[in-house]
Chain A
């Protein structure tokens, strides 16, 4: 399983400036857009916020995985961000989120990509994987956390 294909050095930030949930989503989307993986920021943001309305993707344990499925997405990928101070993301456990995975999926994603995303989602439930993510200093650390 090639996890690397979902990430890119261009879409990683270890110092998110955002202070609120919406700002965090905006900041992550901006990275995604600058990397050329998104055709329409607003359209994708709507999809992400619509998903958040159902219930927050702050899964607790300091992690949030906002995601959206939208035709404006060029190809399935993940944008990764860390907030040192933590951001209130309406998480399930009420605690601020520090680690963010923005998952973007086009309407017609191939199963291979969806399989990788499901693999990553599963990994996030493991304590040791989360620990490695919290300690990650650079892009390689993030990738290695999943291996």
Chain B
């Protein structure tokens, strides 16, 4: 039996009325890589914050290597050997890599500041120790790519973790986890414990031995990963056995009405694009990064004005150019953007206010908006996306990512639009939320409406689309019918290979 590094007993944390964590207990032993699994909103982030000293638990206790552990700041946690690589990257953009690595005390001397070259030398030492050879210590952080920044964030945590390293979604921006896994193994060989939080089960199985599953802020169980299959883990995460994630796909009747008809659209990277969406179909869109899909979606949603071309909605020409006009045009297009934090949501309003926003007229008498009415108006839409009504009164900022996404979708539904345009609607949300989103999409088109959605996950496109368009270089290069949908076919087309070319390659 290896020595215990971290022992947490019955941790609880409330934010106002929201219970983020109740009665969470876990044990992490020396040299172990311990996974924390759970849906969005299960309490993982709160647990990370408590362990790393950002917030303090309302009740419960922790011990670290046998000593009581109750850090009230990041530096206190670090002083006891606990370091965290945060999901939201905590680097200062206009400082150098070296300064960031050594913060908060970049200068090691008390009376006269250390010279920049001496700081950079020490930082280079840290980079060398953790085998980063391609990033210079004097590079400015804002010049780095997201993946490079993530590695620096991880390196900083590695260099401070003498007892416990906490990694919160460390591979979210890393194309290849090889480097990370190598460093984790070096660290655990010294007896340091690692807490690993990730949505990617494959990775978790590769690097972790045991996993603790959280659900609704409670510990469900700690399991040996070799003794349980993925379905078993999903079942623990969502609290029911997972129905097959993707039910029967929907296909439009051939004679269905055309709801949205796009002719010769030019906007941003989009080059003379034609597109039509029929009632009752879910049209997928596959593309590599930056092929013009953002421009297309933003034009359809009315967020940008096309430089040329026609967008017909329900048979009338739509003079788009503002989201308000997009909604008004004929039967309306409702757009759910990708950047929900910056483009979509009012974090300081309640979920109900956010949902009811497009229909403020319905929630008001004589121009005054009543909270009660707002709730009533938003409740129906919320139920369609399986958003629990108890969240309606909370500020959106305090909800988890998955629930924020549900709020946005509910808001799109409440507009009564005949067409939904969804940009990666299930990105970064957990299994349970994904299922609710898929169910909502199917339900929506069954009522004679239509959906165009982009997804960065090919499996999602293959299973959910009635047909799938592929964009490359600003044009639609393939329209793959249901029967021919495979991930390989989409991938080849997304790289610009037509079917004939694919044979040649």
* A and B associate: no
